[in-house]
Amino acid sequence: MINKIQLKDDYIKLGQALKFANVVESGVDAKIVIQDGMVSVNGEVCTQRGKKLVSGDIVTFEEETIYIE
């Protein structure tokens, strides 16, 4: 499934983006999947929950894709 997140500020943190796109239920779930290396940002595995995402970034987790606009 493809989700799009429209930025209201200059960036959104990776954990927040996963919650906002409803691909995880909570911040704890986001922390676990990120730390376990299950999330990619722009094609590279990312284990930083606080990674700042900006317009143009693409996040993938399982069958989900999140475009940051």
Q: CATH number for the domain including 15?
A: 3.10.290.10
**Confidence (pTM):** 0.92
Residue 59 is predicted with a pLDDT of 98
Cα–Cα distance, 39 to 9 (Å, whole number):
22
For 14, phi then psi, to 5°, come to -55, -50
Total domain count for the chain? 1
Q: Measuring CA to CA, how many Å separate 12 from each of 16, 17, 37, 50?
A: 7, 6, 19, 9
Mean pLDDT split into 10-residue runs, the chain, 69 residues: 92 97 95 97 97 98 96
Convert 2-39 to b/e letters by CB count within 10 Å (16 or more is b).
ebebeeeeeebbbbbbbbebebbeeeeebeebbeeeeb
Residue 1 is predicted with a pLDDT of 79
Instruction: Give residue 34's domain range.
Output: 2-68
